Amino acid sequence: MPNSESIAFYNREDAADLNRRWLSFGRAETNAPVLPDIEKAIMEARAIGREPKVLCIGEGTGVDATKIFTDIFHVPVVAVDASENLLEWSQKNASNPNIEYVHDTWPDLKKIFARNEQYDVVFSSATLQELKPEEHEAAIRSAVQLTKPGGATVLIWPTPPTRAHHSVPDLEILQKTLKNMNHCPEEERLRFSFGKLPDVTNRLALNGEPVMRAYLIIHVPIERKINCESVPSHLPPDYQSRDVHQKSR
Ligand SMILES: C[S@@+](CC[C@H](N)C(=O)[O-])C[C@H]1O[C@@H](n2cnc3c(N)ncnc32)[C@H](O)[C@@H]1O
Protein backbone atom coordinates (compact mmCIF):
# COMPACT_ATOMS: atom_id res chain seq x y z
CA MET A 1 0.00 0.00 0.00
CA PRO A 2 1.38 3.43 -0.90
CA ASN A 3 1.76 6.11 1.73
CA SER A 4 -1.85 7.34 1.81
CA GLU A 5 -0.95 10.14 4.22
CA SER A 6 1.40 11.64 1.68
CA ILE A 7 -1.07 11.28 -1.20
CA ALA A 8 -3.86 12.82 0.91
CA PHE A 9 -1.52 15.70 1.74
CA TYR A 10 -0.92 16.50 -1.94
CA ASN A 11 -4.61 16.13 -2.73
CA ARG A 12 -5.39 18.76 -0.09
CA GLU A 13 -2.61 21.22 -0.89
CA ASP A 14 -3.29 24.13 -3.19
CA ALA A 15 -1.58 23.21 -6.47
CA ALA A 16 -1.13 26.79 -7.69
CA ASP A 17 0.65 27.70 -4.47
CA LEU A 18 2.84 24.59 -4.60
CA ASN A 19 3.76 25.35 -8.18
CA ARG A 20 4.84 28.88 -7.29
CA ARG A 21 7.03 27.53 -4.49
CA TRP A 22 8.52 24.69 -6.53
CA LEU A 23 9.25 27.01 -9.45
CA SER A 24 11.01 29.43 -7.10
CA PHE A 25 13.86 26.89 -6.84
CA GLY A 26 14.58 27.14 -10.57
CA ARG A 27 15.30 23.82 -12.20
CA ALA A 28 18.19 23.91 -14.63
CA GLU A 29 20.65 25.52 -12.18
CA THR A 30 19.61 23.55 -9.13
CA ASN A 31 19.72 20.22 -10.94
CA ALA A 32 22.87 21.07 -12.93
CA PRO A 33 24.99 18.15 -11.59
CA VAL A 34 22.58 15.53 -12.99
CA LEU A 35 21.90 17.19 -16.35
CA PRO A 36 24.97 15.78 -18.17
CA ASP A 37 23.83 12.21 -17.44
CA ILE A 38 20.34 13.01 -18.67
CA GLU A 39 21.76 14.62 -21.78
CA LYS A 40 24.02 11.64 -22.44
CA ALA A 41 21.11 9.16 -22.30
CA ILE A 42 19.06 11.37 -24.64
CA MET A 43 21.92 11.88 -27.08
CA GLU A 44 22.70 8.17 -27.16
CA ALA A 45 19.10 7.36 -28.01
CA ARG A 46 19.18 9.90 -30.84
CA ALA A 47 22.54 8.59 -32.05
CA ILE A 48 21.01 5.18 -32.70
CA GLY A 49 18.00 6.73 -34.41
CA ARG A 50 15.59 6.34 -31.54
CA GLU A 51 13.21 9.13 -30.46
CA PRO A 52 14.05 9.52 -26.76
CA LYS A 53 11.27 9.39 -24.21
CA VAL A 54 11.26 10.27 -20.52
CA LEU A 55 9.23 9.12 -17.53
CA CYS A 56 8.87 11.58 -14.62
CA ILE A 57 7.63 10.04 -11.38
CA GLY A 58 6.02 12.31 -8.76
CA GLU A 59 5.57 15.06 -11.27
CA GLY A 60 3.54 17.36 -9.04
CA THR A 61 2.71 20.50 -10.98
CA GLY A 62 4.46 19.53 -14.22
CA VAL A 63 7.54 21.45 -13.18
CA ASP A 64 10.21 18.83 -14.01
CA ALA A 65 8.53 17.82 -17.26
CA THR A 66 8.32 21.40 -18.50
CA LYS A 67 11.36 23.13 -16.98
CA ILE A 68 13.81 20.32 -17.62
CA PHE A 69 12.59 17.94 -20.25
CA THR A 70 10.51 19.88 -22.75
CA ASP A 71 12.24 23.29 -22.31
CA ILE A 72 15.86 22.08 -22.23
CA PHE A 73 15.91 18.70 -23.96
CA HIS A 74 12.79 18.92 -26.16
CA VAL A 75 11.77 15.34 -25.47
CA PRO A 76 8.34 13.80 -24.92
CA VAL A 77 7.51 13.02 -21.31
CA VAL A 78 5.10 10.71 -19.54
CA ALA A 79 4.49 12.49 -16.22
CA VAL A 80 3.09 10.42 -13.37
CA ASP A 81 1.68 11.54 -10.05
CA ALA A 82 -0.44 9.94 -7.33
CA SER A 83 -2.34 13.15 -6.61
CA GLU A 84 -5.44 13.66 -8.76
CA ASN A 85 -5.57 17.24 -7.57
CA LEU A 86 -2.07 18.09 -8.86
CA LEU A 87 -2.61 16.21 -12.12
CA GLU A 88 -5.83 18.04 -12.81
CA TRP A 89 -4.08 21.35 -12.18
CA SER A 90 -1.12 20.39 -14.40
CA GLN A 91 -3.36 19.27 -17.23
CA LYS A 92 -5.00 22.71 -17.19
CA ASN A 93 -2.01 24.91 -16.42
CA ALA A 94 1.10 23.07 -17.60
CA SER A 95 -0.31 21.37 -20.67
CA ASN A 96 2.08 20.71 -23.51
CA PRO A 97 1.65 18.44 -26.55
CA ASN A 98 4.87 16.72 -25.49
CA ILE A 99 3.65 15.86 -21.98
CA GLU A 100 1.21 13.12 -21.15
CA TYR A 101 -0.05 13.20 -17.55
CA VAL A 102 -0.93 9.86 -15.98
CA HIS A 103 -2.45 9.11 -12.60
CA ASP A 104 -0.41 6.25 -11.11
CA THR A 105 1.35 5.31 -7.90
CA TRP A 106 4.98 4.46 -7.26
CA PRO A 107 6.34 1.83 -6.60
CA ASP A 108 3.70 -0.30 -8.38
CA LEU A 109 3.13 2.03 -11.36
CA LYS A 110 0.56 -0.44 -12.66
CA LYS A 111 -0.67 1.72 -15.54
CA ILE A 112 2.87 2.47 -16.67
CA PHE A 113 3.97 -1.18 -16.54
CA ALA A 114 0.80 -2.16 -18.43
CA ARG A 115 2.08 -0.10 -21.39
CA ASN A 116 5.01 -2.43 -21.75
CA GLU A 117 7.32 0.45 -22.58
CA GLN A 118 10.74 1.54 -21.32
CA TYR A 119 12.19 5.05 -21.15
CA ASP A 120 15.59 6.56 -21.93
CA VAL A 121 15.43 8.55 -18.70
CA VAL A 122 13.37 7.74 -15.63
CA PHE A 123 13.49 10.84 -13.44
CA SER A 124 12.08 11.52 -10.02
CA SER A 125 12.68 14.64 -7.97
CA ALA A 126 11.62 14.93 -4.33
CA THR A 127 9.26 11.96 -4.35
CA LEU A 128 11.15 8.92 -3.02
CA GLN A 129 10.86 10.39 0.50
CA GLU A 130 7.06 10.43 0.16
CA LEU A 131 7.01 6.63 0.08
CA LYS A 132 7.12 4.36 3.11
CA PRO A 133 10.60 3.10 4.06
CA GLU A 134 9.59 -0.45 3.17
CA GLU A 135 8.71 0.74 -0.36
CA HIS A 136 12.09 2.32 -1.13
CA GLU A 137 13.67 -0.83 -2.48
CA ALA A 138 10.70 -1.66 -4.71
CA ALA A 139 10.63 1.95 -5.89
CA ILE A 140 14.24 1.86 -7.06
CA ARG A 141 13.72 -1.51 -8.69
CA SER A 142 10.63 -0.43 -10.61
CA ALA A 143 12.35 2.77 -11.80
CA VAL A 144 15.29 0.73 -13.12
CA GLN A 145 13.01 -1.83 -14.75
CA LEU A 146 11.37 0.99 -16.67
CA THR A 147 14.72 2.34 -17.92
CA LYS A 148 15.92 1.27 -21.37
CA PRO A 149 19.32 -0.35 -21.78
CA GLY A 150 21.69 2.58 -22.40
CA GLY A 151 19.43 4.87 -20.38
CA ALA A 152 19.60 6.40 -16.91
CA THR A 153 17.45 6.35 -13.78
CA VAL A 154 17.87 9.65 -11.93
CA LEU A 155 16.46 9.88 -8.40
CA ILE A 156 16.71 12.96 -6.18
CA TRP A 157 15.44 13.37 -2.62
CA PRO A 158 15.80 15.85 0.24
CA THR A 159 17.59 14.92 3.40
CA PRO A 160 16.84 15.45 6.25
CA PRO A 161 13.05 15.21 5.77
CA THR A 162 11.24 18.46 5.00
CA ARG A 163 7.78 17.31 6.10
CA ALA A 164 6.47 15.23 8.96
CA HIS A 165 5.27 12.37 6.74
CA HIS A 166 8.60 12.03 4.89
CA SER A 167 10.89 9.03 5.14
CA VAL A 168 14.21 9.58 3.43
CA PRO A 169 15.80 6.38 2.10
CA ASP A 170 18.04 4.59 4.50
CA LEU A 171 21.62 4.27 3.25
CA GLU A 172 21.74 0.61 4.22
CA ILE A 173 18.59 -0.13 2.21
CA LEU A 174 20.06 1.70 -0.75
CA GLN A 175 23.30 -0.22 -0.58
CA LYS A 176 21.50 -3.55 -0.21
CA THR A 177 19.17 -2.74 -3.10
CA LEU A 178 22.00 -1.75 -5.38
CA LYS A 179 24.00 -4.82 -4.46
CA ASN A 180 21.04 -7.15 -5.03
CA MET A 181 20.39 -5.60 -8.40
CA ASN A 182 23.90 -6.32 -9.60
CA HIS A 183 23.96 -10.11 -9.69
CA CYS A 184 24.70 -10.11 -13.40
CA PRO A 185 27.64 -10.76 -15.70
CA GLU A 186 30.15 -7.90 -15.50
CA GLU A 187 29.15 -6.25 -18.77
CA GLU A 188 25.49 -6.19 -17.75
CA ARG A 189 26.06 -4.54 -14.36
CA LEU A 190 24.42 -1.28 -13.42
CA ARG A 191 26.73 1.62 -12.63
CA PHE A 192 25.81 4.01 -9.86
CA SER A 193 26.75 7.53 -8.96
CA PHE A 194 25.72 9.31 -5.78
CA GLY A 195 26.09 12.99 -5.05
CA LYS A 196 24.71 16.14 -3.55
CA LEU A 197 22.79 18.95 -5.21
CA PRO A 198 22.78 22.60 -4.17
CA ASP A 199 20.70 23.35 -1.09
CA VAL A 200 17.58 25.06 -2.37
CA THR A 201 14.85 23.81 -0.09
CA ASN A 202 16.03 24.97 3.33
CA ARG A 203 13.14 27.41 3.51
CA LEU A 204 10.86 24.39 3.78
CA ALA A 205 12.84 22.49 6.40
CA LEU A 206 10.88 21.39 9.43
CA ASN A 207 13.56 22.32 11.91
CA GLY A 208 15.20 25.18 10.06
CA GLU A 209 18.36 23.15 9.32
CA PRO A 210 19.79 23.34 5.81
CA VAL A 211 18.42 20.62 3.57
CA MET A 212 20.72 18.74 1.31
CA ARG A 213 19.37 17.02 -1.77
CA ALA A 214 20.92 13.68 -2.51
CA TYR A 215 20.95 12.15 -5.95
CA LEU A 216 21.40 8.63 -7.18
CA ILE A 217 21.99 7.98 -10.87
CA ILE A 218 21.77 4.42 -12.11
CA HIS A 219 23.22 3.88 -15.56
CA VAL A 220 21.73 0.87 -17.30
CA PRO A 221 24.29 -0.62 -19.69
CA ILE A 222 23.31 -1.20 -23.27
CA GLU A 223 24.12 -4.90 -22.90
CA ARG A 224 21.78 -5.39 -19.96
CA LYS A 225 19.35 -8.16 -20.82
CA ILE A 226 15.76 -8.12 -19.71
CA ASN A 227 16.19 -11.27 -17.61
CA CYS A 228 18.97 -9.66 -15.65
CA GLU A 229 16.61 -6.84 -14.67
CA SER A 230 15.56 -6.12 -11.16
CA VAL A 231 12.67 -8.35 -10.14
CA PRO A 232 9.07 -7.07 -10.22
CA SER A 233 8.44 -4.69 -7.39
CA HIS A 234 5.68 -6.76 -5.75
CA LEU A 235 8.08 -9.63 -4.96
CA PRO A 236 9.76 -9.75 -1.54
CA PRO A 237 12.92 -7.65 -1.48
CA ASP A 238 15.27 -10.60 -0.99
CA TYR A 239 13.77 -12.60 -3.86
CA GLN A 240 16.37 -11.55 -6.40
CA SER A 241 19.40 -12.50 -4.36
CA ARG A 242 18.00 -15.91 -3.36
CA ASP A 243 16.96 -16.61 -6.93
CA VAL A 244 20.32 -15.61 -8.33
CA HIS A 245 22.27 -17.59 -5.73
CA GLN A 246 20.25 -20.69 -6.51
CA LYS A 247 20.84 -20.28 -10.23
CA SER A 248 24.56 -19.78 -9.81
CA ARG A 249 25.08 -22.94 -7.73
C1 LIG B 1 7.58 17.26 -3.05
S2 LIG B 1 6.59 16.93 -4.45
C3 LIG B 1 7.78 16.98 -5.75
C4 LIG B 1 7.22 17.56 -7.01
C5 LIG B 1 8.24 17.77 -8.15
N6 LIG B 1 8.79 16.51 -8.60
C7 LIG B 1 9.35 18.71 -7.72
O8 LIG B 1 10.51 18.28 -7.64
O9 LIG B 1 9.07 19.88 -7.48
C10 LIG B 1 6.21 15.20 -4.29
C11 LIG B 1 5.24 14.71 -5.34
O12 LIG B 1 5.14 13.29 -5.23
C13 LIG B 1 3.78 12.89 -5.41
N14 LIG B 1 3.64 11.57 -4.78
C15 LIG B 1 3.57 11.25 -3.46
N16 LIG B 1 3.51 9.91 -3.30
C17 LIG B 1 3.54 9.37 -4.54
C18 LIG B 1 3.50 8.02 -5.04
N19 LIG B 1 3.43 6.98 -4.21
N20 LIG B 1 3.55 7.84 -6.38
C21 LIG B 1 3.62 8.90 -7.23
N22 LIG B 1 3.65 10.19 -6.82
C23 LIG B 1 3.62 10.42 -5.50
C24 LIG B 1 3.02 14.00 -4.74
O25 LIG B 1 1.66 14.04 -5.15
C26 LIG B 1 3.82 15.23 -5.17
O27 LIG B 1 3.39 15.72 -6.40
**Which structural domains are found in the chain, ordered by start?**
4-247 (3.40.50.150)
Cα–Cα distance, 74 to 61 (Å, whole number)? 18
Per-residue pLDDT at 107 exceeds 80? yes
- Per-residue pLDDT band at 240 (split at 50, 70, 90): very low
Which of 18, 130, 136 to mutate for ligand 1's pocket (most ligand atoms within 8 Å of CB)?
A: 130
Task: State the pLDDT at residue 238.
Answer: 36
What SS3 class is residue 37? Answer: helix
Answer whether 126 contacts ligand 1 (Cβ < 6 A): yes
How much is the average pLDDT of 69-79? 97
Quick: pLDDT tens for 12-69: 888 888 888 888 777 888 888 999 999 999 999 999 999 999 999 999 999 999 999 9
Distance 187 CA to ligand 1 centre (A): 34
Cα–Cα distance, 213 to 218 (Å, whole number)? 16
Under 8 Å between Cβ of 67 and 104: no
Cα–Cα distance, 121 to 52 (Å, whole number)? 8
Query: Which residue did the predictor score with more confidence, 166 or 116?
Result: 116
DSSP letter at 97?
T
Q: Supply the residue whose CA is at minimum distance from atom 11 of ligand 1.
A: 58
- Per-residue pLDDT band at 241 (split at 50, 70, 90): very low
Name the nearest CA neighbour of 145 among 233, 212, 26, 63.
233
Task: State the pLDDT at residue 200.
Answer: 65
Quick: pLDDT tens for 108-148: 999 999 999 999 999 999 999 999 988 998 999 899 999 99
Answer whether 142 contacts ligand 1 (Cβ < 6 A): no
Q: Supply the residue whose CA is at minimum distance from atom 3 of ligand 1.
A: 126
Give the pairing of strands 77-81 and 147-159.
unpaired
Task: State the pLDDT at residue 29.
Answer: 82
How much is the average pLDDT of 154-162? 85
Task: State the pLDDT at residue 242.
Answer: 28
Quick: pLDDT tens for 179-237: 888 878 888 888 888 888 876 655 555 556 667 788 899 999 888 765 555 444 433 33
Task: State the pLDDT at residue 194.
Answer: 85
Query: Which residue did the predictor score with more confidence, 170 or 61?
Result: 61
Answer whether 60 contacts ligand 1 (Cβ < 6 A): yes
